[in-house]
Amino acid sequence: MEYGKDYGKEEMFAAACIREIQEGDNVFHGLASSTPMVVMKAAKELGKDFNYVTLSDGLDHDWLRPPYSASTLTENTYIGSVATFGLDDIFDLFARGQGHIAFLSCLQIDKTGRIAMSVLGGPDYDHSALRGPGGAGTASIVPCCPRTIIWKCAHDTRTMVPHVKFATTTAAKDKSMTLITPLCIFRKAPGETEFKLDSIFPYTTIEEVKENTGWEIAETEVPVLDPPTAEELAALKKVDPNYILGYEF
């Protein structure tokens, strides 16, 4: 597979996310989450046996209906569902320890997994330069989620900063957190308090990752992730003929 010819950063990013999903997982993505929506549909198409829950109330909707908009609140993630399972049920599921993966994003993140979704900049909370959406379930779900995956379609020093001033949530010490960007994967293992560079994508280098990350990266040698397989690319194409995957990049 050749970068730029057979696949782009979007497909690599999606393949990295797909590979995180394991058999039997209960997997959630939030609002305005077109990227994980396509990822989870493709994972279903690849035959992964997991449960898909999201804010539209739908449980395991018909993933072959092509999304036509980047909104994750349309009927697209509802039609064909086998049951309704709303956000209140999803919060309870994670609080009981029965949720496995939550795909969440952020405005900013730092090395310790402090995540900004509420406010950015300004002298204090009430006089911030930017008020964010708050991240609905981020603060509630992250402390209870064994494998939070932060998906961030931009990798730069504006979003990956040395220190997040106001944290909507922070990675839980006893849980894992994974940060996936268009260049690489960072992981914080249970028991640890900081992200480590886990692997990089085939078309980049550790130097490029370091240049674009606002915190110190100590790792000098990490594995290069395999490029997307033909099966992964075919699944992405099949579930997403309108290329909603490209929206966030």
Distance of closest approach, residue 220 Cβ to other proteins, in angstroms: 30
x/- map, 150-189, other proteins, by CB under 8 A: ----------------xxxxxxx-----------------
Applying CB under 8 A, does 118 fall inside the site for other proteins? yes
Distance of closest approach, residue 39 Cβ to other proteins, in angstroms: 21
x/- map, 40-69, other proteins, by CB under 8 A: ---------------xxxx---------xx
Residue count (the chain): 249
CA 176 from centre of chain: 13
CA-based nearest residue to 15, from 241, 247, 237: 237
Angle, helix 9-18 to helix 230-239, in steps of 10 degrees: 100
Residue type, position 6, single letter: D
Contact 106, 135 (CB under 8 A): yes
CA-based nearest residue to 160, from 109, 90, 205: 109
Residues 88-107 that bind other proteins (CB under 8 A): 88
Applying CB under 8 A, does 140 fall inside the site for other proteins? yes
Distance of closest approach, residue 69 Cβ to other proteins, in angstroms: 7
Cα separation, 187 vs 176, in Å, equals 7
Applying CB under 8 A, does 75 fall inside the site for other proteins? yes
Which one of 82-90, 180-188, 216-224, 235-243 is the stretch in contact with other proteins (CB under 8 A)?
82-90
Cα separation, 91 vs 82, in Å, equals 19
Quick one: which of 8, 80, 132, 143 contacts other proteins (CB under 8 A)? 143
Distance of closest approach, residue 130 Cβ to other proteins, in angstroms: 16
CA-based nearest residue to 239, from 21, 29, 24, 38: 38
Cα separation, 154 vs 124, in Å, equals 26
Applying CB under 8 A, does 125 fall inside the site for other proteins? yes
Quick one: which of 43, 142, 183, 200 contacts other proteins (CB under 8 A)? 142
Contact 150, 188 (CB under 8 A): no
Q: Which residues bind other proteins (CB under 8 A)?
A: 55-58, 68-69, 71, 73-75, 78, 84, 86-88, 114, 118, 125, 139-140, 142-143, 166-172
